Structure 1
Amino acid sequence: MLSLSLWGSHAQAQSDATLPGGGQATTVESITLADGFRAQLLRSARKNEGSWISMTFDESGRVILGRDKRGVVRLTLDTDRVGVEKFEVIENTLKHCRGVLYAHHSVYVCATNSQGLFRLRDTNGDDRFDSMQQLKHMDYRSRYGHGSNQVVLGPDEMLYVVNGNDVGLPEGVAADSPYRDPQDDHLLPEPRDAVEEVRVGRILRTDPEGKHWEVIAGGFRNQFDVAFNTDGEMFTYDADMEWDVGAPWYRPTRLNHVVPGGEYGWRWGTGKWPAYFADSLPTTLDTGLGSPTAMDFGTRSQFPPRFRASLFMGDWQHGRILRVEMTPRGASYECQYDVFLEGGALNVCDLTFGPDGAMYFITGGRGSQSGLYRVTYEGPAVAPQTLSKEQADRVQQAASARQLRKRLETLGRGSDPSALEFAWTHLDSPDRWLRFAARVAVERMAPALWRARALSEKRPRASIAALLALARLGRAEDQSKLLASLDLLPLEALEREQLLDAFRVWALCFVRQGRPSAEDRKRVLAKLDPLYPHASDYANRELCRLLIYLEAPNVVPRSIELIRNAAAQEDAIFHAQVLARVAEGWTPKTRAAFFDALLVARTYRGGKLLTSTLDNIREDAVATLTDAEKEQLKPRLEKLAKKTQVAFELPQAPIVNQWTWEELSAELPRVSHDRSWKQGRAALVKATCIRCHRFGERGTFAGPDLTSVGRRFDDRALLESILLPSKTIDEKYRVHSYMLESGKVVTGRAVSVGATSITLQPDPLRAETVQVLREQIELSSPSAVSPMPSGLVDVLTKEEILDLVAYLKSGGDPGAAVFRPRFESESRGK
């Protein structure tokens, strides 16, 4: 029996418009806040009001909300701002309004599924929006929500539009944008990662009329929002790919300091750049697994000084708002965070600060129950912190560094010798952010102006930065001279960061300018081969790439030793992946050791894609074997070919009852107390949920991870997803059927949607995929039936079902309130 629920990090539940009996947003008693703060629930979305996913305030202090399915609404708060006195729909055609902004006497809407940025205006002063104009078409090519997200007003009164990685580059964007022409730039690309174009998230800027467009920065996955601090610095909160956990290319959910021309290194599949690549900028703060949504600084709040200086960020997956403190360091910042507020079923979609200085946030998304909340500070007055002279000096030094970086970012194309000289000076900066800005400034000038200088630069740090620019923009005929300059670097004397930067220059030189001549190859090998293996794991990764590319002798046995001795599974997987397609240089001993390492790798833990990653490595390695080697390795290959068995038994339980919503929904109040943790845990297995889902350390990854589902969805939504799985189907897991010109029908879940083809996964329990060319598709239709069958809980008793809902709600915590007696739960909740 296939069990594919649509909750987890990609969950959907019904809005209160379709939930039987309507819905109620999470009560404030279920929310834990920082000391001195108080939350109020101002409005639970009522029947037909939809699920809310974005918000802004207009000039009259009214709340404007973008809806999940369709339309924009406006809420007028009462005089005391403790409730809503008027609800009205102001637009009802735009689909999936992930961003709303009131500015310039207009409402701007990023409507993902309407594929564009729209402007609503009241042209006759009657308080109704009678004009709608599409300012820009956004080519959104997916169903997974990585589309046009928020639109934000910058300190320059311009509009900043936040596009996820499934939106193509819009037409009419300035060719001289600060960020342009991103490349994958992989020395040893994984063929399975091949896409028709480089898919990256971007941040764009336009004027209020939407006439002039430019790309400010890129290389994101699905950053939802941006926020500006008092110094005008921009930040965004980017999503991880949780299926990559355990792999060397996994990048946690991250806060990025966004600068003009900034490259942040997200690429498709296994090709995500490590944070140390010199042609990218690093993460400012990692926050682990999560689903980033809204962000805003507390600058306009009535909070204490420490909180007014903080950045607040929503995490939809874990039902919380994080608070980030920033400390200026060089031309950027160092950050730390804590949890400002959190609660059960608190799927935060957006937050902002109102005209009264309170924080307002909304819950909702993916059709779930929405609520509008207000957070105020009611603790004792707090005096501003006084900086010591040393602290004040550091703040001033950092401010000067940021001003210098901003000046570098303004340098444009041209032949001004003074501009080139100014930028060149800072190629030698020890501050990575200044060095990056200086290199980007140099690259905006014609290479003919600086090519010779780059080749003759003697300062190691400046030489590496200059040669990086030449590797990116130079001609093929520059390669031999560029490699000769790299050969002069004193690698043994370089700091680790400089060494990694130098390795990146060699790699880019080959990626963009082609394979070196035999003489140049020999010279590079003489320089790099003695360094491998290195004391640094990251240096070993880059040396391994380079030496395999250059077909260095004896790279295989040295890499096998690194796999054997790897302290982290990520290092072992990295070296195995790049070795897998190497056909030469093996011995029977190293072949056996490689496949033995793959057998060990079956014990690795990680995200949904880890198993398929290891399968791909095995397939690539087997493809390089001779017939004689296959015969010699036959016992190992047979073991590897066997699918890993699930480590738990799924009993064939008898049917107890064909349960209905009417029978069980009335019992939902009993989920809040006196439930059985042990019985709920057992029900997860008995109903075969963990055949497809992950919960804690148990289960598989065919469907979403359910571990934190209780943080996002309430009891009613959880029960409905169990009983009525086809009522709402998450587009990430919906099955589609495609009739081809040949008459053949192909059915499966779309795992990749490109401009010319669609990749389908016919069976969610198997890694195999099928590619369908768009030009061959005659007809396509989505299935109205969920991959998760109904009736899975018919093998459970009523009490077991309630225990299962409680277990999901608790995240598996045996000490949760749902497992305590009623009166004890109530007293602790007060």
Structure 2
Amino acid sequence: MRPHPYRLPHILAPKFMNRFLLFLSCVFGCLTTCATLGQTRLADFTLPPGFVAEQIYVVPNSEQGSWICLTVDDRGRLIASDQKGALYRLTPPESGGTEPPIIEKIDLEIGMAMGLLYQSDSLYVMVNGKSAQGPGLYRVRDTDQDDQFDSIELLRGIEPPGKPGAGHGNHAIVPSPDGNSLYVVCGNMAGRPAGGFDSSRVPKNWDEDQLLPRMPDSRGHANNTMAPGGWIAKTDLEGSHWELVCIGFRNVYDAAFNREGDLFTYDADMEFDLGTPWYRPTRICHVTSGGEFGWRNGSGKWPAYYPDSLPSAIDVGLGSPTGVTFGYTTDFPAPYRDAFFFCDWSYGRIYTANLKRSGASYSGSHQLFASFAPLPVVDIVVHPLDHSLYLVTGGRGVQSHIYRIRYDADSDETKKNAINSTEAAADAARLHSLRRSLEEMHQPVASNGVEQIWPHLKHQDRHIRFAARIALEHQPVAQWQDRFSAETDPQTIVEATIALARCTENRAQALLQKLEQLQLENLNRTLQLDLLRAYTLVFIRHGRPTDSVASQIGQQCLSLFPTRDSHLDRELSRMLAFLRTDGSIEPMLKALETAESSDDQMHFALMLRGYDQDWSIDQRRRYFRWFDRANAFTGGRTNGEFARQIRQDAEATLSDEEKVELKSLLKKPDQASPQATATQSRPMVKQWTVSELLPEQDSSWQDIRSAARDPKRGEHMFAVAMCNRCHQVRSQGGRVGPDLSGATNRFSPYDLLEAIIEPNKTIPHEFQAVKVVTDDGKVVVGQVVNYGGGGMSVRTNQMEPWKLTKIQEESIEQISPSTTSLMPAGLLDTLNRQEIIDLLGWLAER
């Protein structure tokens, strides 16, 4: 169902709606009330064919607050919590019925929950504020069987580092597949359980592990928050024993188990880092025993390729992750019934992910399932009786609604009911079984455990290697250090070195002697990255190498740099910068000057900033000229601030003589230099049409590849046409528009050109803008990306994604879908025909 531009169930004339809600709260201001709307009504969501969204309840914010989490009790009633207040119970009406829902306030001194779970005749409550006895896991019960909760029991407090109720704190409670345990999901500012964890699947040797000084967030966000970051723990139904399962998240809100018993979560990005080399998109993570996902504050976030961390299953993009669930108990058709549903609060979307076994873990793709603006969805559950999805909007004081999404087979003309999930390949099943057997050893085991673990350190599957190394770190070092000394396999040497570096102290000489058996140039790319990380951990945890060892390793790195592989060049340059290898400034400076990706440029600038000697004055000039280019980069709100921080650090290494020589370059620019914006300086060629560029509509990508073209110029045109400000290709570029990696598998050349030249013709649902009309006649067109503070924030210019327009809720008269694309027209009008063919040819190879 497409949004109707004139039916506005969310915020049509909110001033009048608020008065209406106030009137209702006076009439029904008792413990049990009727809903503010007397009848369930349709909501105009964008949904796949056959699905219907219904508005069940409009929460009177002044009386019941802003709701943020849901669970379903044994009678099919919803239980919700106000973020800053009490708990409520809602009996939903039948679909299409005229009876309103029944709303009850739970009359107990507990609330401010960001996680709720009804399990085994108990309501488990994860308090994140000052309610009850403060933050922690509680059990609420009905002890006299009168259908009213009357008992509150604190199972375990969670001690936050700051004030209770802050963001990134205590979140969801998830039942184990057998129903006998609870999994607790917490963000990176939650703190630790009172008394600490009773046991840990994660070796308790985590640290920051930064080879070079990191750059803190310029606004101070999370600068004092250290490892382990966000975490997931397991406890029993009594909350008596807490076992740490997985760490290294930023701000996980919810999690869910699939049929195979594997746990998945949806972790947050740091949107202000957009455009920096350490930005990590929101992502679906397969939560494994002993897992580490590498969140660290500021620029210290670990890349996904580090062998001592785990990669995501699916990278999603910008967003604000909230509730998740699997659709197994819905009555939806395949593939929705088997999908992983996950919610994005800031963009107002619900996605589905198709997660399939890939090796010992999972991979997949995601699709938009439901959207509307505004739809600040915070939680989602499957109702066990009517088999529909229920969702709640709210958080940060914004208006809350309860919606139901059901499937109406009679209205689905496409009848996409076929396709059941196929059984996983036998090889993947074997690898999953092997991973689980290794995870059983994420604790001290019998003396023959090392015999079972050791061979898998060289396994081809990354998740098997990780599980084996974590198992090894749980065993006494005395049981396996002799094996390390005798080992000859390169992969095993690297993995065992990482384990020993993390588990021991003062062993630099022995570890480096072992690593010296390996030569970087003789290894494949993955092993090169792993070896560089092994060296890194030895240097961080066991001390700097001697000058001779540093020179030897540095020369190995210098002989390879640059490789034109972004990840490998980043790690080689990091090592060169740490070792201060002679002759490394010039190749790194050339890499800074020639890298097409602004991410890579910023990385090389960051690496060079600490060199305090061995510069020529010409090299200094070239380095500081780069900051004029950086001033024009697009990205998150702090992207420009990070460039200024890099510059400030670099200036601190200058001698007095160098400062005099570079005086004109050290003036702080107020705006982007003309040289940095190539498109603005290029003359108009013509207003191209698709037919002028491709007369044959059925032109193939093979035709483009076989045409005379310049791939290097095509890559440059991707930047000149400003495509890279919004779109990424192979993880490089902007992230506010669709990923163009593999675009040739989804579009013909004609269709792709049409999407560029005529962006308003077809607008993908997930990138559709809204038109907001205010009471003073102002019209704002853009993408709603945030809520709170009594209004919403709208991104109106994709080229400057950090600039947001704030609109107060009371000023909004109308919201409707916009027919204007967020992508500007005319981006190719400064390119000649050959340059456009070069651009298409370059995309054809991505």
Name the TM-score, length of structure 1 as normaliser: 0.76
Residue 113 of structure 1 aligns to a residue whose secondary structure is: coil
1:446 aligned partner, one-letter code: P
Aligned: 1:70 with 2:94: no
Cα gap change, 1:56 to 1:15, in 2 (>3 Å) = farther
Counterpart contact for 1:455–1:467, Cα < 8 Å:
no
Q: Distance in 1 between matches of 2:599 and 2:95?
A: 55
Q: 1:331, CA displacement in angstroms?
A: 0.7
User: In structure 1, what is the equivalent of residue 724 of structure 2?
Assistant: none
Taking the aligned partners of 2:69 and 2:371, their CA distance within structure 1 comes to: 19
Residues 1:475 and 2:481 aligned together: no
Unaligned 5+ segments in structure 1 are 1-11, 648-670, 710-716, 723-801, 817-830
Does the 8 A contact of 2:555 with 2:581 survive in 1?
no
For 1:637 and 1:353, how far apart are their aligned partners in 2? Answer: 59
CA distance in 2, matches of 1:31, 1:272: 36
Once residues 196 and 603 of structure 2 are traced to their aligned partners in structure 1, the CA distance between those partners, rounded to angstroms, is 37
The answer as to 2:197 corresponding to 1:183 is: no
Shift of residue 357, structure 1, vs aligned partner: 1.2
Cα distance change of structure 1 residues 632 and 91 upon mapping to structure 2, 3 Å threshold: farther
Are 1:107 and 2:112 counterparts? no
Post-superposition Cα deviations, 1:471-502, rounded to whole Å, max 9, x if no partner, equal 222321x2112112212124223221111111
**Matched length:** 675
Runs of at least 4 residues off by over 6 Å: 12-18, 23-27, 643-647, 671-678, 698-701
- One of 511, 526, 529 as aligned partner of 2:558: 529
- Distance across 1 between alignment mates of 2:124 and 2:592: 53
**Could you tell me whether the CA contact under 8 Å between 2:43 and 2:54 is conserved in 1?**
no
How far apart, CA to CA, are the structure 2 residues paired with 1:362 and 1:196? 30
Flag the 1:207–1:680 CA change in 2: closer, same or farther, 3 A. Answer: closer
Evaluate the alpha carbon distance shift between residue 199 and residue 269 of structure 1 in structure 2; reply closer, same or farther with a 3 A threshold: farther
Q: Does 1:161 align with 2:191?
A: no
Distance 1:238 1:811, change over 3 A: farther
Correspondent of 1:130 among 150, 164, 174: 150
> How far apart in 2 are the matches of 1:15 and 1:218?
42
Cα 1:207–1:292 shift into 2, 3 Å: same
SS at 1:59's partner residue? coil
- For 1:496 and 1:61, locate their aligned partners in 2 and report how far apart those are by CA, in whole Å: 54
Q: Which of these residues, 230, 245, 249, is aligned with residue 278 of structure 2?
A: 249
Question: How far apart are the structure 2 equivalents of 1:209 and 1:279?
Answer: 33
Corresponding position of 1:96? 112
Alignment partner of 1:36 out of 29, 39, 50: 50
Change in 2 beyond 3 A, CA 1:81/1:219: farther
Q: Which residue number in structure 1 is paired with residue 796 of structure 2?
A: 696
Identity rate, percent: 35
How many angstroms apart in 2 are the aligned matches of 1:91 and 1:645?
Answer: 62
> Is the Cα–Cα contact under 8 Å of residues 242 and 289 in structure 1 kept in the other structure?
yes
- Could you tell which deviates more after superposition, 322-331 or 366-375? 366-375
Instruction: Map 1:351-500 to 2 at 5 A.
Output: 351-355=380-384, 356-379=386-409, 385=419, 392=423, 395-414=425-444, 416-476=446-506, 478-500=507-529
Task: Please name the residue that 2:195 is paired with.
Answer: 172
Counterpart in 2 of 1:631?
A: 660
Per the alignment, in what secondary structure is the counterpart of residue 636 of structure 1?
A: coil
The secondary structure found in structure 1 opposite 2:623 is helix
Q: How does 1:576-615 map to 2 (within 5 A)?
A: 576-615=605-644
Distance 2:186 2:420 in 1: 40
Flag the 1:364–1:13 CA change in 2: closer, same or farther, 3 A: farther
Give the conservation status (yes or no) of the 8 Å contact 2:306–2:530: yes
Distance 1:290 1:274 in 2: 19
Q: In structure 2, what is the Cα distance between the partners aligned to 1:75 and 1:556?
A: 65
Give the equivalent residue in structure 2 for 1:6. Answer: none
Give, in angstroms, the shift of residue 367 of structure 1: 1.4
Deviation at 1:346, TM superposition (A): 1.4
- Partner residue of 1:814 out of 811, 814, 820: 820
Distance change >3 Å, CA 673–CA 269, structure 1 → 2: closer
Identify if the C-alpha distance between structure 1 residues 414 and 61 changes in structure 2 by more than 3 Å, giving closer, same or farther.
closer
C-alpha deviation, 1:676, in angstroms: 12
Name the stretch that deviates more: 301-310 or 565-574: 301-310
Decide which moves more: 191-200 or 16-25. Answer: 16-25
User: Is contact 2:592-2:605 (8 Å) kept?
Assistant: yes
* Residue pairs, 1:181-580, within 5 angstroms: 181-190=205-214, 192=216, 195=224, 197-198=226-227, 200-355=229-384, 356-379=386-409, 385=419, 392=423, 395-414=425-444, 416-476=446-506, 478-580=507-609
Query: 3-state DSSP class of the match of 1:32?
Result: coil
Distance 1:814 1:536, change over 3 A: closer
The one-letter amino acid paired with 1:265 is: G
Shift of residue 121 of structure 1? 0.9
Q: Against the structure 1 CA distance between its residues 679 and 220, is the aligned structure 2 distance closer, same or farther, given a 3 Å change threshold?
A: closer
In 2 relative to 1, CA 281–480 (structure 1 residues): closer, same or farther, beyond 3 Å? same
CA distance in 1 between partners of 2:661 and 2:236 (Å): 67
- 1:145 maps to 167
Note the alpha carbon deviations across 1:524-570, whole angstroms, 9 max, x for none: 23433322222312111111111221121111111111100111001
Take 1:18 and 1:93, find their aligned partners in 2: how far apart are those partners?
30
Query: Which of the pair has the greater relative contact order for Cα pairs under 8 Å at 6+ separation?
Result: 1
- The structure-2 alpha-carbon separation of the partners of 1:719 and 1:699, relative to structure 1 and needing over 3 Å to count, comes to farther
| Aligned counterparts of 2:388 and 2:327: Cα–Cα separation in 1 | 9
Q: How far, CA to CA, are the matches of 2:95 and 2:12 in structure 1?
A: 32
Question: Where does 1:782-793 land on structure 2 (aligned, <5 Å)?
Answer: none
The range that moved more, 538-547 or 169-178, is 169-178
CA separation of 1:469 and 1:360: change in aligned 2, threshold 3 A: same
Amino acid at match of 1:136: R
Match of 2:20 in 1: 21
| Structure 2 gaps, min length 5 | 1-10, 23-35, 218-222, 678-770, 823-846
d(CA) in 2 for partners of 1:17, 1:417? 73
